[in-house]
Chain A
């Protein structure tokens, strides 16, 4: 029975993903984003070999090592505790990347599942799921993160949990809209007509259709997550046992870097966040263009004109 489903009319999973990658390689914006991202990933993965010092090593600050300006010994100077800024910067990439990856993975999985189930089954389940989504959609993120992390305690896992808990809603809405249209397409109706089960249809027909959208959405979610984590850390809610860019800025800002004029303690972590978020944004922008330029107006992304009326 199920063999009939591999009819050419069904969209082959591998083909669409390969196509996706090929198109990505043609987009210069996407490639710039990808390269920027790879630089940061290499930095984070090989941090112990690249960083000149270990930022977790206790240091004994002397008066001349506090906010020491850049020198041959410390290429980006030192911070308020006499620690090497460059090493902290390199290790800081790890926190942003890990929080970004894990939280966005949870976000996209939960959002994708809710959106697919609500869209595919519709009816009462769909309505209830989407109502819950709508309610969580309007609650402002950062205040809720602040409350959750302040109450749970600022560990990296609580930060990830807090962020994942409400950021899945945008993805759920997006996938819901997509599944609604996919499930009425001919190949799905045909599969159902020959007796394919719901689980089979979702796995083999609906999921491959929404996967590219999930990937594009994932890149954009990561950029938001990284900004949220940095904001939390800046407010003093970062994991105290880890070096992160937001926490570096929090310490530098709170401990007189500005009045001393220690720009080297402020600029690297700030620019690091800009670099990484920009990388994901460019990548997400390119992916979204590929997935479907007319699918939606993501509230950040410019859309192509459907058909030109101007000469």
Chain B
């Protein structure tokens, strides 16, 4: 009963957060200086053309509530209405619907982030385990220092370094996702080509995330190893490996789930910077590109997609945690 309560509450707050994000998105782009209405005030346009554009984008309507006629006939409600239909506006730069453009790029970002995240988790957990198990040894100190160092590395700088290493010493491509103009003989050829393009961006993301997973796994296992039930297991005469495998690891893994959610914002930031360095055609480079070209609908759409996916992923992580850890109580 309590459990269901917790789940419902968690989903409810995720919905509230998404609503706040959507509203924030609306006001940011309409109230702050440099809003879309200003960006289309091109002096070359005639007055009539300007007016037509304003009508086309609904900018002639009142901002919040229409006091003259239908109260819902305002920019604010039109914005929500078009969002519900999956309409994110038209890109200034590509003159195509933002939703279509982002859909094409979403899968590229998901591919990069997923592989990078999984690699970081697997390697991070492994090193964290070894480090905690061999606590106080040179290996352990090394893991902690590497963890702190990778945390201090600026993502884009690491990306630039790896880009140089990859392109000048390993013969890897300098950017993009596929070789331009390539004609793939088979599906396998395409996989190999994409893989070669992916190698360095993925490695960058993995290194950036690795430190946090190593350190949290290490501290989590150290904490679990201090618990009474570990002492009991030892007292039963179980071997070190048995204690670790059957009693410690499972419990130490819990914080890692939280960490996946916590690092999502970090991963998003990473993907923006990494995609910019490697010209990876994903959501992150869409944001960077939109900023440089003053493509506000694109910027708005990409921000929205990023924010909403992080909120949803966060919620899923919380629900998963609650399912795995019976101690979670509704607050």
Contact = CB atoms under 8 A, between A and B. Distances in A.
Given A281-B151, A303-B219, A139 B157 contact: no
Given A150-B291, A300-B212, A305 B21 contact: no
Contact of B314 (A138, A141, A142): A138
A231 B288 CA distance: 11
Interface of B: 13, 16-17, 20-21, 24, 28-29, 32-35, 135, 144, 147-149, 151-157, 160-161, 163-164, 211-212, 215-216, 218-220, 222-223, 225-226, 230-231, 234, 255, 259, 262-265, 268-269, 272-273, 276-277, 287-288, 291-292, 299-300, 302-303, 306-307, 310-311, 314
Contacts, number: 175
Interface stretch (A1-9, A70-78, A106-114, A272-280): A272-280
Interface in A211-248: 223, 227-228, 230-231, 234-237, 246
Contacts of B34: 150-153
Contact of B226 (A135, A223, A234, A307): A307
B277 A235 contact: no
Contact of B231 (A142, A269, A270, A309): A309
Nearest to B164: A258
B236 to A, nearest CB: 14
B260 to A, nearest CB: 11
B216 A249 contact: no
Contact of B148 (A152, A153, A282): A282
A80 to B, nearest CB: 15
A176 B154 CA distance: 30
A235 B226 contact: no
A143 B287 contact: yes
A236 B289 CA distance: 10
Interface string A281-311: 1100100000000000101111111111110
A198 interface: no
B268 A140 contact: yes
A309 B147 contact: no
A97 interface: no
Contacts of A269: 157
A274 B276 CA distance: 20
A277 B152 contact: yes
Contact of B33 (A147, A152, A299, A303): A152
B225 A140 contact: no
Given A134-B17, A152-B34, A305-B135, 6 more contacts: A142-B265, A152-B32, A231-B273, A235-B276, A297-B216, A309-B230
